[in-house]
Structure 1
Amino acid sequence: MLHKLQLEHILFLDIETVPAYENFSDLPEQLQLLFASKTAYRRKDEISPEDFYSSAGIWAEFGKIVCISVGYLVSQGSEPQLRLKSLYGDERELLLEFKHLLNDHFNLPYHLLCAHNGKEFDFPYIARRMLIHGISLPEKLQLFGKKPWEIPHLDTLELWKFGDYKHYTSLKLLTAILGIPSPKDDIDGSQVRDVFYNEKDIDRIIKYCEKDVLAIVQVLKKLRQEPLLEEHQIKSV
Protein backbone atom coordinates (compact mmCIF):
# COMPACT_ATOMS: atom_id res chain seq x y z
CA MET A 1 0.00 0.00 0.00
CA LEU A 2 2.83 2.40 0.85
CA HIS A 3 4.25 1.95 -2.62
CA LYS A 4 1.01 3.25 -4.14
CA LEU A 5 1.42 6.64 -2.46
CA GLN A 6 2.59 9.54 -4.60
CA LEU A 7 5.24 11.15 -2.42
CA GLU A 8 4.70 14.47 -4.22
CA HIS A 9 1.22 14.54 -2.70
CA ILE A 10 2.53 14.49 0.89
CA LEU A 11 3.39 17.46 3.09
CA PHE A 12 5.93 16.32 5.69
CA LEU A 13 6.08 18.40 8.85
CA ASP A 14 7.40 18.81 12.36
CA ILE A 15 6.73 21.38 15.06
CA GLU A 16 8.78 22.77 17.92
CA THR A 17 7.02 23.95 21.05
CA VAL A 18 7.92 25.76 24.27
CA PRO A 19 6.05 26.87 27.40
CA ALA A 20 3.72 29.75 26.56
CA TYR A 21 5.35 31.89 29.26
CA GLU A 22 9.04 31.95 30.04
CA ASN A 23 8.55 31.34 33.77
CA PHE A 24 5.92 29.66 35.91
CA SER A 25 5.53 32.88 37.90
CA ASP A 26 4.44 34.65 34.69
CA LEU A 27 1.36 32.43 34.41
CA PRO A 28 -1.92 33.94 35.63
CA GLU A 29 -2.79 32.49 39.04
CA GLN A 30 -5.69 30.42 37.72
CA LEU A 31 -3.45 28.83 35.08
CA GLN A 32 -0.84 28.06 37.73
CA LEU A 33 -3.45 26.07 39.65
CA LEU A 34 -4.69 24.38 36.49
CA PHE A 35 -1.14 23.48 35.46
CA ALA A 36 -0.54 21.92 38.87
CA SER A 37 -3.71 19.86 38.46
CA LYS A 38 -2.97 18.92 34.84
CA THR A 39 0.54 17.68 35.64
CA ALA A 40 -0.09 15.94 38.95
CA TYR A 41 -0.08 12.51 37.31
CA ARG A 42 3.37 13.19 35.78
CA ARG A 43 5.10 14.76 38.76
CA LYS A 44 6.62 12.93 41.67
CA ASP A 45 5.61 14.20 45.09
CA GLU A 46 8.82 16.15 45.58
CA ILE A 47 8.60 17.96 42.21
CA SER A 48 6.65 21.21 42.36
CA PRO A 49 4.59 22.58 39.47
CA GLU A 50 7.14 25.39 39.16
CA ASP A 51 10.04 22.94 38.84
CA PHE A 52 8.07 20.96 36.27
CA TYR A 53 7.09 24.01 34.21
CA SER A 54 10.02 23.66 31.81
CA SER A 55 8.05 20.73 30.30
CA ALA A 56 4.89 22.80 29.76
CA GLY A 57 5.47 23.01 26.02
CA ILE A 58 4.23 19.45 25.47
CA TRP A 59 0.64 20.53 26.28
CA ALA A 60 -1.18 22.80 23.84
CA GLU A 61 -3.07 24.39 26.75
CA PHE A 62 0.17 25.62 28.37
CA GLY A 63 2.58 25.79 25.45
CA LYS A 64 2.98 27.45 22.08
CA ILE A 65 4.46 26.65 18.69
CA VAL A 66 7.63 28.54 17.79
CA CYS A 67 8.40 26.77 14.52
CA ILE A 68 6.62 24.63 11.93
CA SER A 69 8.95 23.13 9.35
CA VAL A 70 7.52 21.49 6.26
CA GLY A 71 8.97 19.50 3.40
CA TYR A 72 7.60 18.46 0.03
CA LEU A 73 9.03 16.48 -2.85
CA VAL A 74 9.14 17.73 -6.41
CA SER A 75 10.28 15.96 -9.55
CA GLN A 76 13.29 17.51 -11.17
CA GLY A 77 14.98 15.56 -13.89
CA SER A 78 15.44 11.90 -13.06
CA GLU A 79 15.40 12.23 -9.26
CA PRO A 80 13.15 13.77 -6.61
CA GLN A 81 14.09 17.00 -4.88
CA LEU A 82 13.06 17.86 -1.31
CA ARG A 83 12.13 21.45 -0.55
CA LEU A 84 12.24 22.51 3.09
CA LYS A 85 10.51 25.62 4.46
CA SER A 86 10.09 26.88 8.02
CA LEU A 87 7.42 29.12 9.51
CA TYR A 88 8.37 30.97 12.69
CA GLY A 89 7.79 34.16 14.66
CA ASP A 90 4.50 35.24 16.19
CA GLU A 91 2.49 32.07 16.81
CA ARG A 92 -0.80 33.33 15.41
CA GLU A 93 0.90 34.55 12.24
CA LEU A 94 2.80 31.32 11.64
CA LEU A 95 -0.41 29.32 12.16
CA LEU A 96 -2.22 31.50 9.63
CA GLU A 97 0.66 31.03 7.20
CA PHE A 98 0.48 27.27 7.70
CA LYS A 99 -3.27 27.33 7.12
CA HIS A 100 -2.79 29.27 3.87
CA LEU A 101 -0.14 26.77 2.78
CA LEU A 102 -2.59 23.90 3.26
CA ASN A 103 -5.52 25.72 1.65
CA ASP A 104 -3.52 26.93 -1.35
CA HIS A 105 -1.26 23.96 -2.11
CA PHE A 106 -2.36 20.85 -0.18
CA ASN A 107 -6.16 21.02 -0.26
CA LEU A 108 -7.06 18.23 -2.67
CA PRO A 109 -8.48 14.86 -1.53
CA TYR A 110 -5.29 12.98 -2.36
CA HIS A 111 -3.03 15.32 -0.35
CA LEU A 112 -1.71 13.93 2.94
CA LEU A 113 0.08 15.29 6.00
CA CYS A 114 2.90 13.20 7.45
CA ALA A 115 4.76 13.48 10.77
CA HIS A 116 6.38 11.19 13.34
CA ASN A 117 3.91 10.69 16.19
CA GLY A 118 1.88 13.30 14.36
CA LYS A 119 -1.50 11.77 15.23
CA GLU A 120 -0.72 12.00 18.94
CA PHE A 121 1.18 15.28 18.96
CA ASP A 122 1.78 17.52 15.93
CA PHE A 123 -1.66 17.44 14.26
CA PRO A 124 -3.81 17.87 17.41
CA TYR A 125 -1.38 20.44 18.84
CA ILE A 126 -1.62 22.61 15.72
CA ALA A 127 -5.42 22.29 15.68
CA ARG A 128 -5.76 23.21 19.36
CA ARG A 129 -3.48 26.23 19.06
CA MET A 130 -5.41 27.41 16.01
CA LEU A 131 -8.68 27.26 17.91
CA ILE A 132 -7.14 29.03 20.91
CA HIS A 133 -6.18 31.85 18.54
CA GLY A 134 -9.63 31.91 16.96
CA ILE A 135 -8.45 30.47 13.64
CA SER A 136 -10.85 28.19 11.80
CA LEU A 137 -9.34 24.82 10.98
CA PRO A 138 -8.27 23.98 7.44
CA GLU A 139 -9.92 20.93 5.89
CA LYS A 140 -6.87 18.72 6.50
CA LEU A 141 -7.21 19.21 10.26
CA GLN A 142 -10.98 18.74 10.46
CA LEU A 143 -11.48 15.17 11.67
CA PHE A 144 -14.97 15.19 13.19
CA GLY A 145 -17.30 12.70 11.56
CA LYS A 146 -14.61 11.18 9.38
CA LYS A 147 -13.97 7.46 9.23
CA PRO A 148 -10.39 6.38 10.06
CA TRP A 149 -9.55 5.73 6.42
CA GLU A 150 -10.83 9.18 5.45
CA ILE A 151 -8.37 11.02 7.70
CA PRO A 152 -5.60 12.46 5.48
CA HIS A 153 -2.78 11.86 7.96
CA LEU A 154 0.26 9.60 7.78
CA ASP A 155 2.33 8.83 10.87
CA THR A 156 5.72 7.15 10.58
CA LEU A 157 5.47 6.00 14.20
CA GLU A 158 2.13 4.32 13.46
CA LEU A 159 3.56 2.70 10.33
CA TRP A 160 6.42 1.28 12.39
CA LYS A 161 4.06 -0.03 15.09
CA PHE A 162 2.36 -2.44 12.65
CA GLY A 163 -0.71 -2.42 14.89
CA ASP A 164 1.22 -2.75 18.18
CA TYR A 165 -0.46 0.03 20.15
CA LYS A 166 1.75 -0.29 23.24
CA HIS A 167 4.94 0.22 21.25
CA TYR A 168 6.71 3.58 21.02
CA THR A 169 9.84 4.24 18.98
CA SER A 170 11.41 7.68 18.90
CA LEU A 171 12.49 9.23 15.63
CA LYS A 172 16.09 9.13 16.87
CA LEU A 173 15.92 5.39 17.51
CA LEU A 174 14.11 4.70 14.26
CA THR A 175 16.71 6.55 12.19
CA ALA A 176 19.50 4.71 14.02
CA ILE A 177 18.17 1.22 13.35
CA LEU A 178 17.28 2.05 9.74
CA GLY A 179 20.71 3.47 9.00
CA ILE A 180 19.57 7.05 8.50
CA PRO A 181 21.76 9.97 9.66
CA SER A 182 20.43 11.17 13.02
CA PRO A 183 18.54 14.48 13.15
CA LYS A 184 19.50 14.82 16.84
CA ASP A 185 23.15 15.77 16.30
CA ASP A 186 22.83 19.19 17.94
CA ILE A 187 19.89 19.60 20.32
CA ASP A 188 16.86 17.52 21.21
CA GLY A 189 13.30 18.41 22.15
CA SER A 190 14.10 18.82 25.84
CA GLN A 191 16.52 21.64 25.03
CA VAL A 192 14.30 23.71 22.75
CA ARG A 193 12.87 25.72 25.64
CA ASP A 194 16.32 26.87 26.80
CA VAL A 195 17.48 27.63 23.26
CA PHE A 196 14.36 29.74 22.70
CA TYR A 197 14.12 31.65 25.98
CA ASN A 198 17.74 31.73 27.21
CA GLU A 199 19.84 31.66 24.03
CA LYS A 200 17.15 33.33 21.90
CA ASP A 201 18.48 31.36 18.94
CA ILE A 202 15.50 30.66 16.69
CA ASP A 203 17.81 29.80 13.79
CA ARG A 204 19.17 26.85 15.75
CA ILE A 205 15.63 25.64 16.41
CA ILE A 206 14.70 26.00 12.74
CA LYS A 207 17.71 23.94 11.69
CA TYR A 208 16.82 21.24 14.20
CA CYS A 209 13.17 21.22 13.09
CA GLU A 210 14.09 20.93 9.41
CA LYS A 211 16.42 18.02 10.19
CA ASP A 212 13.48 16.22 11.78
CA VAL A 213 11.39 16.77 8.65
CA LEU A 214 14.19 15.37 6.51
CA ALA A 215 14.45 12.36 8.83
CA ILE A 216 10.71 11.69 8.47
CA VAL A 217 11.01 11.74 4.68
CA GLN A 218 13.97 9.36 4.84
CA VAL A 219 12.11 6.98 7.18
CA LEU A 220 9.16 6.80 4.80
CA LYS A 221 11.47 6.14 1.88
CA LYS A 222 13.20 3.41 3.88
CA LEU A 223 9.83 1.81 4.71
CA ARG A 224 9.11 1.84 0.98
CA GLN A 225 12.56 0.29 0.41
CA GLU A 226 13.65 3.20 -1.75
CA PRO A 227 17.06 4.92 -1.89
CA LEU A 228 17.56 7.69 0.63
CA LEU A 229 17.75 11.28 -0.53
CA GLU A 230 21.26 12.59 -0.97
CA GLU A 231 22.49 16.02 0.11
CA HIS A 232 22.31 17.52 -3.38
CA GLN A 233 18.59 16.63 -3.51
CA ILE A 234 17.72 18.74 -0.45
CA LYS A 235 17.16 22.50 -0.46
CA SER A 236 15.77 25.04 2.00
CA VAL A 237 13.52 27.64 0.41
Structure 2
Amino acid sequence: MVEKINLENVLFLDIETAPEHPHFGLCDEDTQQLYDLKTQYQRKDGQSPEEFYERAGIWAEFGKIVCMSVGYFTFRGDIRHFRVTSFCGEEKQILRDFNNLLSNHFNQPQHILCGHNAKEFDFPFIARRMIINNIPIPQKLNLFGKKPWEVPHLDTLELWKFGDYKTFVSLKLLTKILGIPSPKGDIDGSQVGYVYHVEKDIDRIVTYCEKDVVAVAQVLLRFRGEDLLVDDEIIHV
Protein backbone atom coordinates (compact mmCIF):
# COMPACT_ATOMS: atom_id res chain seq x y z
CA MET A 1 0.00 0.00 0.00
CA VAL A 2 1.27 3.46 -0.90
CA GLU A 3 0.43 4.69 2.61
CA LYS A 4 3.22 2.52 4.00
CA ILE A 5 5.93 3.98 1.76
CA ASN A 6 8.37 6.33 3.48
CA LEU A 7 8.22 9.42 1.29
CA GLU A 8 11.86 10.22 2.03
CA ASN A 9 12.78 7.05 0.14
CA VAL A 10 11.07 8.13 -3.09
CA LEU A 11 12.84 9.97 -5.90
CA PHE A 12 10.31 11.59 -8.21
CA LEU A 13 11.46 12.28 -11.75
CA ASP A 14 10.45 13.44 -15.19
CA ILE A 15 12.37 13.78 -18.45
CA GLU A 16 11.91 15.98 -21.49
CA THR A 17 13.11 14.67 -24.82
CA ALA A 18 13.67 16.10 -28.29
CA PRO A 19 14.67 14.79 -31.73
CA GLU A 20 18.40 14.19 -31.81
CA HIS A 21 18.85 16.65 -34.66
CA PRO A 22 17.14 19.98 -35.38
CA HIS A 23 15.69 18.62 -38.63
CA PHE A 24 15.47 15.39 -40.60
CA GLY A 25 18.00 16.46 -43.21
CA LEU A 26 20.82 16.33 -40.66
CA CYS A 27 20.33 12.59 -40.12
CA ASP A 28 22.61 10.35 -42.15
CA GLU A 29 21.06 8.30 -44.92
CA ASP A 30 20.88 5.07 -42.92
CA THR A 31 19.13 6.83 -40.03
CA GLN A 32 16.64 8.41 -42.41
CA GLN A 33 15.77 5.02 -43.87
CA LEU A 34 15.49 3.41 -40.45
CA TYR A 35 13.26 6.22 -39.20
CA ASP A 36 11.09 5.77 -42.27
CA LEU A 37 10.67 2.08 -41.45
CA LYS A 38 10.15 2.70 -37.73
CA THR A 39 7.37 5.23 -38.24
CA GLN A 40 5.60 3.87 -41.32
CA TYR A 41 2.55 2.77 -39.32
CA GLN A 42 2.43 5.89 -37.14
CA ARG A 43 2.41 8.41 -39.97
CA LYS A 44 -0.78 9.59 -41.62
CA ASP A 45 -1.36 8.69 -45.25
CA GLY A 46 0.90 10.77 -47.42
CA GLN A 47 2.93 12.09 -44.48
CA SER A 48 6.66 11.87 -45.11
CA PRO A 49 9.29 10.84 -42.53
CA GLU A 50 10.64 14.39 -42.73
CA GLU A 51 7.24 15.86 -41.86
CA PHE A 52 6.95 13.37 -38.98
CA TYR A 53 10.44 14.03 -37.61
CA GLU A 54 9.15 16.43 -34.97
CA ARG A 55 7.86 13.30 -33.16
CA ALA A 56 11.29 11.63 -33.15
CA GLY A 57 11.88 12.57 -29.53
CA ILE A 58 9.51 9.89 -28.26
CA TRP A 59 11.87 7.11 -29.40
CA ALA A 60 15.21 6.59 -27.65
CA GLU A 61 16.69 5.43 -30.96
CA PHE A 62 16.05 8.81 -32.61
CA GLY A 63 15.67 11.24 -29.70
CA LYS A 64 17.65 12.41 -26.73
CA ILE A 65 17.11 13.70 -23.20
CA VAL A 66 17.42 17.48 -22.96
CA CYS A 67 16.26 17.91 -19.37
CA MET A 68 15.73 15.69 -16.35
CA SER A 69 14.11 17.00 -13.17
CA VAL A 70 14.01 15.18 -9.85
CA GLY A 71 12.36 15.87 -6.52
CA TYR A 72 12.37 14.38 -3.05
CA PHE A 73 10.76 14.97 0.33
CA THR A 74 12.60 15.98 3.49
CA PHE A 75 11.08 16.10 6.97
CA ARG A 76 12.38 17.92 10.02
CA GLY A 77 9.87 17.34 12.77
CA ASP A 78 6.60 18.84 11.56
CA ILE A 79 8.30 20.73 8.73
CA ARG A 80 7.91 19.18 5.30
CA HIS A 81 9.79 20.28 2.20
CA PHE A 82 9.91 19.05 -1.37
CA ARG A 83 13.24 19.80 -3.02
CA VAL A 84 13.40 19.97 -6.81
CA THR A 85 16.47 20.17 -9.02
CA SER A 86 17.19 19.68 -12.72
CA PHE A 87 19.94 18.40 -14.98
CA CYS A 88 20.09 19.95 -18.43
CA GLY A 89 22.53 20.62 -21.24
CA GLU A 90 24.59 17.94 -22.98
CA GLU A 91 22.83 14.59 -22.73
CA LYS A 92 25.81 12.52 -21.62
CA GLN A 93 26.40 14.87 -18.69
CA ILE A 94 22.71 14.75 -17.76
CA LEU A 95 22.90 10.97 -17.59
CA ARG A 96 26.17 11.00 -15.65
CA ASP A 97 24.77 13.45 -13.11
CA PHE A 98 21.65 11.35 -12.67
CA ASN A 99 23.73 8.20 -12.33
CA ASN A 100 25.82 9.87 -9.64
CA LEU A 101 22.68 10.96 -7.79
CA LEU A 102 21.34 7.42 -7.73
CA SER A 103 24.70 5.91 -6.79
CA ASN A 104 25.35 8.32 -3.94
CA HIS A 105 21.90 9.01 -2.50
CA PHE A 106 19.24 6.59 -3.78
CA ASN A 107 21.02 3.25 -4.05
CA GLN A 108 19.58 1.37 -1.07
CA PRO A 109 16.93 -1.38 -1.28
CA GLN A 110 14.26 0.86 0.23
CA HIS A 111 14.69 3.59 -2.39
CA ILE A 112 12.05 3.90 -5.13
CA LEU A 113 11.85 5.84 -8.40
CA CYS A 114 8.47 7.41 -9.18
CA GLY A 115 6.99 9.09 -12.25
CA HIS A 116 3.81 9.29 -14.34
CA ASN A 117 3.77 6.75 -17.18
CA ALA A 118 7.41 6.31 -16.22
CA LYS A 119 7.43 2.52 -16.54
CA GLU A 120 6.35 2.88 -20.16
CA PHE A 121 8.43 5.92 -21.09
CA ASP A 122 10.87 7.63 -18.70
CA PHE A 123 12.62 4.63 -17.12
CA PRO A 124 13.26 2.64 -20.33
CA PHE A 125 14.15 5.81 -22.25
CA ILE A 126 16.81 6.71 -19.67
CA ALA A 127 18.23 3.18 -19.64
CA ARG A 128 18.39 3.00 -23.44
CA ARG A 129 20.09 6.38 -23.73
CA MET A 130 22.62 5.29 -21.11
CA ILE A 131 23.48 2.26 -23.24
CA ILE A 132 23.75 4.45 -26.34
CA ASN A 133 26.03 6.88 -24.48
CA ASN A 134 28.14 4.05 -23.03
CA ILE A 135 27.16 4.83 -19.43
CA PRO A 136 26.66 1.95 -16.96
CA ILE A 137 23.01 1.40 -16.08
CA PRO A 138 22.46 2.01 -12.35
CA GLN A 139 20.94 -0.78 -10.31
CA LYS A 140 17.63 1.05 -9.94
CA LEU A 141 17.12 0.91 -13.71
CA ASN A 142 18.57 -2.52 -14.39
CA LEU A 143 15.57 -4.83 -14.32
CA PHE A 144 17.22 -7.95 -15.74
CA GLY A 145 16.35 -10.99 -13.65
CA LYS A 146 14.08 -9.08 -11.28
CA LYS A 147 10.64 -10.36 -10.36
CA PRO A 148 7.79 -7.82 -10.73
CA TRP A 149 7.61 -7.19 -6.98
CA GLU A 150 11.36 -6.58 -6.86
CA VAL A 151 11.27 -3.68 -9.34
CA PRO A 152 11.89 -0.44 -7.38
CA HIS A 153 9.57 1.66 -9.54
CA LEU A 154 6.30 3.40 -8.76
CA ASP A 155 4.08 4.76 -11.53
CA THR A 156 1.16 7.08 -10.74
CA LEU A 157 -0.52 6.11 -14.01
CA GLU A 158 -0.36 2.47 -12.98
CA LEU A 159 -1.79 3.33 -9.57
CA TRP A 160 -4.70 5.10 -11.25
CA LYS A 161 -5.38 2.16 -13.58
CA PHE A 162 -6.21 -0.18 -10.66
CA GLY A 163 -5.38 -3.12 -12.93
CA ASP A 164 -7.17 -1.74 -16.02
CA TYR A 165 -4.61 -2.03 -18.81
CA LYS A 166 -6.81 -0.33 -21.41
CA THR A 167 -6.68 3.09 -19.78
CA PHE A 168 -4.28 5.96 -20.36
CA VAL A 169 -4.75 9.16 -18.35
CA SER A 170 -2.45 12.12 -18.83
CA LEU A 171 -0.89 13.83 -15.85
CA LYS A 172 -2.78 17.00 -16.78
CA LEU A 173 -6.14 15.19 -16.67
CA LEU A 174 -5.28 13.35 -13.47
CA THR A 175 -4.31 16.54 -11.64
CA LYS A 176 -7.51 18.21 -12.87
CA ILE A 177 -9.86 15.56 -11.56
CA LEU A 178 -7.95 15.25 -8.27
CA GLY A 179 -8.11 18.99 -7.63
CA ILE A 180 -4.37 19.53 -7.95
CA PRO A 181 -3.03 22.77 -9.48
CA SER A 182 -2.20 22.11 -13.13
CA PRO A 183 1.48 21.34 -13.76
CA LYS A 184 1.38 22.68 -17.29
CA GLY A 185 2.69 26.06 -18.29
CA ASP A 186 3.01 27.70 -21.67
CA ILE A 187 4.27 24.62 -23.54
CA ASP A 188 3.48 20.93 -23.79
CA GLY A 189 5.56 17.87 -24.57
CA SER A 190 5.00 18.13 -28.32
CA GLN A 191 6.65 21.56 -28.35
CA VAL A 192 9.81 20.69 -26.42
CA GLY A 193 11.77 19.88 -29.58
CA TYR A 194 10.96 23.26 -31.12
CA VAL A 195 11.74 25.15 -27.92
CA TYR A 196 15.04 23.27 -27.59
CA HIS A 197 16.29 23.31 -31.19
CA VAL A 198 14.79 26.55 -32.51
CA GLU A 199 14.15 28.86 -29.57
CA LYS A 200 17.07 27.40 -27.60
CA ASP A 201 15.21 28.25 -24.39
CA ILE A 202 16.31 25.52 -21.99
CA ASP A 203 15.07 27.48 -18.96
CA ARG A 204 11.53 27.27 -20.32
CA ILE A 205 11.89 23.49 -20.62
CA VAL A 206 13.32 23.19 -17.11
CA THR A 207 10.35 25.08 -15.66
CA TYR A 208 7.95 22.81 -17.53
CA CYS A 209 9.77 19.65 -16.40
CA GLU A 210 9.97 20.69 -12.75
CA LYS A 211 6.24 21.42 -12.67
CA ASP A 212 5.59 17.85 -13.76
CA VAL A 213 7.77 16.48 -10.97
CA VAL A 214 5.88 18.50 -8.38
CA ALA A 215 2.58 17.34 -9.89
CA VAL A 216 3.58 13.66 -9.63
CA ALA A 217 4.43 14.17 -5.96
CA GLN A 218 1.06 15.85 -5.43
CA VAL A 219 -0.75 12.93 -7.05
CA LEU A 220 0.98 10.46 -4.74
CA LEU A 221 0.02 12.59 -1.75
CA ARG A 222 -3.62 12.43 -2.87
CA PHE A 223 -3.40 8.65 -3.15
CA ARG A 224 -2.13 8.63 0.43
CA GLY A 225 -4.88 10.97 1.64
CA GLU A 226 -2.37 13.61 2.74
CA ASP A 227 -2.36 17.38 2.42
CA LEU A 228 -1.05 18.75 -0.86
CA LEU A 229 2.17 20.71 -0.99
CA VAL A 230 1.90 24.49 -0.77
CA ASP A 231 4.32 26.88 -2.47
CA ASP A 232 6.34 27.51 0.70
CA GLU A 233 7.11 23.79 0.97
CA ILE A 234 8.57 23.53 -2.54
CA ILE A 235 12.25 24.43 -2.81
CA HIS A 236 14.01 24.72 -6.17
CA VAL A 237 17.75 24.06 -5.89
* TM, length-normalised to structure 2: 0.99
Query: What pairs with 1:85-124 in structure 2 (closer than 5 Å)?
Result: 85-124=85-124
Q: Can you list the C-alpha shifts for 1:185-219, whole angstroms capped at 9, x where unaligned?
A: 32110111111111110000000000000000000
Query: What pairs with 1:219-234 in structure 2 (closer than 5 Å)?
Result: 219-234=219-234
Query: What pairs with 1:188-203 in structure 2 (closer than 5 Å)?
Result: 188-203=188-203
Structure 2 equivalent of residue 162 of structure 1: 162
Structure 1: 4+ residue segments shifted above 3 A: none
2 CA distance for matches of 1:208 and 1:46?
33
2 CA distance for matches of 1:216 and 1:79?
20
Q: Which moved more, 1:209-218 or 1:43-52?
A: 43-52
2 CA distance for matches of 1:163 and 1:41?
28
2 CA distance for matches of 1:219 and 1:192?
23
Letter in 1 for 2:231: E
Q: Can you list the C-alpha shifts for 1:156-179, whole angstroms capped at 9, x where unaligned?
A: 000000000010000000000000
Between the two proteins, the alignment pairs up a number of residues equal to 237
2 CA distance for matches of 1:47 and 1:159?
36
SS at match of 1:16: strand
Query: What pairs with 1:121-136 in structure 2 (closer than 5 Å)?
Result: 121-136=121-136
Letter in 1 for 2:66: V
Query: Is residue 166 of structure 2 the alignment partner of residue 149 of structure 1?
Result: no
Structure 1 equivalent of residue 172 of structure 2: 172
Structure 1 equivalent of residue 206 of structure 2: 206
1 CA distance for matches of 2:196 and 2:31?
22
Q: Can you list the C-alpha shifts for 1:112-134, whole angstroms capped at 9, x where unaligned?
A: 00000000000000000000011
2 CA distance for matches of 1:50 and 1:105?
42
**In percent, how many aligned pairs have the same letter?**
61
Q: Can you list the C-alpha shifts for 1:120-159, whole angstroms capped at 9, x where unaligned?
A: 0000000000000111100001101000000000000000
Structure 1 equivalent of residue 30 of structure 2: 30
Letter in 2 for 1:29: E
2 CA distance for matches of 1:93 and 1:191?
23
2 CA distance for matches of 1:78 and 1:40?
55
1 CA distance for matches of 2:179 and 2:127?
33
2 CA distance for matches of 1:161 and 1:109?
26
2 CA distance for matches of 1:223 and 1:109?
23
Letter in 1 for 2:195: V
1 CA distance for matches of 2:12 and 2:55?
25
Letter in 1 for 2:221: K
SS at match of 1:197: helix
1 CA distance for matches of 2:152 and 2:114?
9
Letter in 1 for 2:175: T
Letter in 2 for 1:212: D
Structure 1 equivalent of residue 218 of structure 2: 218
Structure 2 equivalent of residue 69 of structure 1: 69
* TM, length-normalised to structure 1: 0.99
SS at match of 2:199: coil
